[in-house]
Amino acid sequence: MTLSIEVSIEHRSRTKQERLSRVEPLVLSFARPETTSAVTRGAAKLLVDMGYAPLIEVCLPNGRRADIMALGPRGDLAIAEVKSGPEDFRTDRKWGEYLAWCDAFYFAVAPEFPRDILPQAPGLIVADAFDGAVLRAAPVAPLSGARRKALTVAFARLAAMRCAAGVMKPPSPSWGGSAEGRGGAV
* Residue 133 covered by a domain: yes
Counted domains in the chain? 2
* Residue 48 covered by a domain: yes
Residues 22 and 113 in one domain: no
Ordered strands of the 104-109 beta sheet: 53-59, 65-71, 77-83, 104-109, 123-127, 132-136
Residues 53 and 7 in one domain: no
* Residue 111 covered by a domain: yes
Residues 20 and 44 in one domain: no
User: Residue 32 in 3-state DSSP?
Assistant: helix
* Residue 184 covered by a domain: no
Under a CB-based contact definition with an 8 Å cutoff, are residues 45 and 131 in contact? yes
Count of residues for the chain? Answer: 186
B/e letters for 72-107, b = 16+ CB within 10 Å, e = fewer, are: eeeebbbbbbbbbbeebbeeeeebeebeebbbbbbb
Residues 72 and 153 in one domain: yes
Q: Tell me the CATH number at 65.
A: 3.40.1350
Distance CA 13, CA 19 (A): 9
Query: Domain range spanning residue 19?
Result: 1-30
pLDDT in tens, the chain (186 residues): 444 333 334 445 565 455 444 544 443 444 588 999 999 999 999 999 999 999 999 999 999 999 999 999 999 999 999 999 999 999 988 999 999 999 999 999 999 999 999 999 999 999 999 999 999 999 999 999 999 999 999 999 999 999 999 876 555 544 444 334 333 333
For residue 125, what pLDDT is reported?
98
For residue 98, what pLDDT is reported?
97
